[in-house]
Structure 1
Amino acid sequence: MRGLYSSSGKWWPGAIPLVILWAVAAWTTMPAVEAELSARSAAALKDTILDKTKITAAGRDITLTAEAFSEEGRRAAVSAVEAVPGLRLVNDRTKLVPEASPYVWSIERDVVRVTLSGSAPLPASRTRLFDGAKAAFAGVEVVDRMALARGAPQRFDAAAMLLIDQMAKLKQGKITLTGTKVALKGMAKDLGGREAIAAALRNLPDGYSVGDNEIEAPPYVFRAYKDPVSGQVTLDGYVPDNAVHAALAGATGRKFFGDKVVDNLKASVGAPKGFVDAAVPALGALSRLSTGTLVLSDREVHLSGDAFYDVAANQIRGGLNKELPQGWTVKIDLSVKPQAAPVDATVCQQLFNGLLARGTVQFDSASATIDKDSAGLLDRLIETAMRCPNAKIEVAGHTDSDGDDAFNQTLSERRARAVVDYMVRAGLPPERFQSFGYGSKIPVAENDTEAGKAKNRRIDFVVR
């Protein structure tokens, strides 16, 4: 009995290696089991929509941490993990994404970046909006400050994408979507942008509407610049429509006799009331300057530059405001061009001929009233007369052959006298001038075409 007891009492030393082997096997195989269960659990969730998902394995137990976008989605995610083969227990630490009330989303643009803020309903929505903003604002930094939240109205993505497109039409501003109500504030990038945004917002999804719309249009600016060095007048900015565009371009060509017109005008809505009636006399005032800039912004005319002589500067200052439509204001900043060096009679005649080859003094039909389009030409003729102060100048009037000879003779005399009177009012001594009318007796072209007749209707300057 003793021997039997002794041998049976010593069984456990042999078991120790077995325990060690079991522990080592368990220690080496358990991480593989946990990794396998984690991978299976992640695969089980591939068709679910969750945020902040985290899967932690401890042996054959899984802890699932995540935020779901609906109670049904949360339960479905937990059930999917529970069905993973080989898993013993699921420790459920899931919860719902917070609900936003009111549900607010916004897009804001400043001079540096575009910022998306507020709530987005799903990760895919957030990505879609961010990518849409990057596409709409190529080259501009886009910052994503959106948070995921439940409670979005139906068709949220479609509404937000439409608003992103409208923000691209703003120079700066902010568009906010609160529930289904849209609020807009900012400055449109281009004229017509405000109206284009308003039209686009009519395509918001059903149930959405515009609350506050404080989009401002940029100033409606029309500019003209006269450069005597290049001999051109540059027009840019905006005009109401193509008809006004053509009218102003034509008026510029007439008033700036022979100068090249560089036309960069664009048609756009938003012109202030009385725009055309202000632009035409303002262009006339600019035509009387040696060099100058004209800016029409909203309902203000700003004219600056150099007049040819003192009387012209005073006439422009006193006359332009009277010609503008009611409600328009004028700001004039004029100086007088330094008088050029005197020339002899021969050079003076050449200067007169050069000017009159480029333009003709125009009159109202069958009248001796000087057309306003000729003011710029007359100021240049006066400047030339000032450069030859000792020369006597004959101003000769001519007509075409249409009509009664006696009438044409009288008309030519009256027109020549009107030009002399204009030059005397500019400060030139009356004794320097004589006016003569020659009717249709001295044509320079055939009178059987309109072009020929136009050449024959003229005023000549002859230096004696």
Structure 2
Amino acid sequence: MRLSGLLLTFLAFATAAGGAFLGARAAVAVVEDRSVVAVRDALAGEGLLFARVLGDGLQIVLEGEAPSEAQRFRAMSVAGGQVDASRVIDNLSVAEREGLAPPAFAVEILRNDAGVSLIGLVPADTDRERMADRIAEAAPDKPVTDLMETADHPIPPGWAPAMIFALEALERLQRAKISVSAGEVSVVAMAESATDQRRIENELARLRPAGLSLSVDITAPRPVISPFIVRFVSDADGARFEACAAGSTEGEAVITEAAVAAGLDGRVSCRIGLGMPSEHWSEAVALSIGAVAELGGGTVTLTDADVSLVAPADTPEAVFERVAGELENALPPLFALEAAVAVEPDAEAVETVPEFTATRSPEGLVQLRGRVADALMNTTAETYARAQFDGAEISMGTRVTEGLPPGWSVRVLAGIAALGELESGSVIVRPDTVRVSGLTGNPDARTQIAQLLVEKLGQDADFSVDVTYEERLDPIAALPTPEECLQQIGIVTRNRKITFDPGSADIAGPAQAVMDDIAEILRRCPDLRVEVAGYTDSQGREEMNLRLSQDRADAVLRGLRERRVPVGSFSAVGYGEEDPIADNETEEGREANRRIEFRLVGSEATDASADADGEAAAGGEDGSDEQD
């Protein structure tokens, strides 16, 4: 009996314990499920989908790979916000971090009258001292403000040539912003004039290293045009401008549209500048050109606010009166019209018309032919031609004639001045007209000749200007490349040498002609960076040879300066007996090693070089290079 009671008691306790255990397990499972769901939903709401949520009793386990340490910490914080943070087990790993991408190195170089400023980020290995020296060479006497920061990363490909080119560009620009990045340079600058603008653009294009992306935006102040002139002609040879000026590109477009409608076939290029007499200039020009088209031909000349319309000789009077009247009423305020019908020349009178002709050949010969009023005028014409064509051969074939028309001498001098705008061509002067034709290297020559003739002969003067621009004649566009300049030096020194007096740095007399030829080449090659390098043979003491080579390089540089070569960007360096090009054990080899070399430096440097060898002479007993 007693045993059965104990067993029942034990069973009762066991049943109660089992029920409690099962109840606790059920409660834990409910808590676990709810905690897992709550944490999973919270993580998903924050976009932390990399974390997997597992339940382990009352503990919450986070597993997965976080993209960063910050993301891992954020996941733990979100989970700790849903359950007690002590219940959250961190089994998250963090993805390996990739190396930091190198920064975008870039520099902006600003130059104006106040100095030079550098702003940007450069590699830590940048030679700041060398850069400062180059800027000092490019902008002497200008303060330099260096605001650049550095980053310790490798120098990216294309960075070095871009920086070298940027400093070369800085040397040629007085007011500019130069933006530099690896393989790219952008130049925004102001030039002193349109001619200067074209020169700089050509130089930068020539200096640009292969593979460099270059953007150039150089502006120049518009020139002052006086008088402001347009001359439009329509005759048997077609419609054309003999002079064209506009105040803006928009105005040029208006003038072009009117000219095309009047029969012009081809490209129109008006000279754009300041001095426009009225804001309605392009409108007045378009109306005037339209009047020529309505007449079926003729000439219209606008000189500032004066408009001169000349109709063909066969124009019906009624048509002329209508067109002239409509134009006069349509012209904007300020513009005044003079209209006339051309007069047919008398065939008999043509045979006796006096004529003066001036021609200029491609070789530079200037010939003056025809009639002049008196001996004084003959001398004046020759003197004026010699001043106009400095150094050219002048051939006089003029003849003094009485009874020439009034103003003949002025017409003759105007014709000579017009010829001066051409590289080759001719000017024919008659009492009623002036005809100019030829080739030029100045893109604005046509307009400039027309302006000159209007100034000298008057607005009503009859003249024609038929000149063609050729780029090969343009002294700016046709500049030789740096390599071509060195090749030319190599040609003139191929069979002649720069020699020195024995044991000295004085250039020998026979070598002066060689120096003259080299100077002439270098004067045609502006803005070069050239090193004049002096070398000796190995005879004598090394210190003496080094000093002698430096003295001789200095002497060559001095000789170029005396010949008016701009040598501001040149340097003279003596290398002594370094870099022999021949065997110093033979007399021929030593003679070859005693030399002066011209080589390009900076971004212009190439493998091309031109040698001007020294010539041996009697020397000292010690066999030193004093015998050179």
Same fold (TM over 0.5): no
The normalised TM-score by structure 2 is 0.27
Structure with more of its chain in strand, by fraction: 1
More RCO (CA 8 Å, sep 6+): 1
